[in-house]
Amino acid sequence: MIELLASRYAYALMFVLMGVGMYMMIANQNLVKKLIGVNLFQTAIFLFFVAVAYVEGGSAPIVPTEGDPGAMASPLPHVIVLTAIVVGIALTAVGLALIVRIYAEYGTLREDTLREVRADE
């Protein structure tokens, strides 16, 4: 068990980070912090992909024109994570734009206040 943790701590860490993000998303009343929670949740997954690509003793996947480069980290997950990060940024932007609009309409960023305001209407 200890050995497994020592060699695979990256995966364990990913699930901890994901849990933190999920908890923030559910428990925090502030809409902006909820969105930060979503970001944390996604970042955990990005780190997971990077960890998957790691090769013991491998170098960066830049292939020289001559000679044998030896073991290399897999480049595919890195490309995937880059794409996913871009998607994540777009999502954050749309989310923040929506929050700005909610703030303009209701004058609050807190979910519980928002629920009261909407119930009154």
Partner 1 sequence: MSNVDLILPLLVAVPILMATVPIALGLRFDRTGWGVTTLTTTALLAATAYLASAVYSDGMVTHELGGWPREFGIQLVADEFSTLIALLVIATATAVLAYMRVGGPRGNTFYAGYLLLTGGLLGLSLTGDVFNMFVFLEIVGLATYALIASGDGPESAVSALKYLILGTVGASLYLIGVGFIFMATGTLNMQVLSEIMPEVLAQGGQNLVLLQAAFAFIFVGFALKVAQWPLHTWQPDAYQHAPDGVTPVIAALVSTAYAYALGRLMYTVFGPEFLTSTPYLTEIVVTVGCLSVLAGSTLAVIQTDVKRMFAYSSVAQFGLVVAAFGLVTETALIGAIIHLIGHAVMKAGLFAAAGVIAVTYGARTVDEYAGLADNRPFVAGGTALLLIALIGIPPSAGFIGKWYIAVGSVQAEMWPVAAVILLSTMLTLAYSARLLEKMYFTPATPVESPHPSGPVATDGGHEGGNGDDAHGSEHGDDAHGSEHGDESAGNVGASAFTDAGRIGRGNPDAVSFGMLALVIVAAIIAVLLGFAGGELYDLLDPFATEVFNE
Residues near partner 1, by CB under 8 A: 22, 25, 31, 34-35, 38, 41-42, 45, 48-49, 52, 76-77, 80, 83-84, 87, 90-91, 94-95, 98-99, 101-102, 105-106, 114, 118
CB of 112 to partner 1, least distance (A): 13
CB of 34 to partner 1, least distance (A): 6
How far apart are alpha carbons 57 and 63 in whole angstroms?
16
CB of 39 to partner 1, least distance (A): 9
Q: Sign of dihedral through CA atoms 104, 106, 108, 109?
A: negative
In the complex with partner 1, which residue's Cβ is closer, 58 or 95? Answer: 95
Closest CA to 10 of 46, 60, 37: 46
CB of 41 to partner 1, least distance (A): 6
In the complex with partner 1, which residue's Cβ is closer, 57 or 82? Answer: 82
Asked if residues 86 and 15 have their Cβ atoms less than 8 Å apart, the reply is: no
Q: How many CA atoms lie within 13 A of 121 on its CB side?
A: 7
For 51, 59, 76, 92, the CA distances from 40, given in Å and listed in that order, are 16, 28, 22, 11
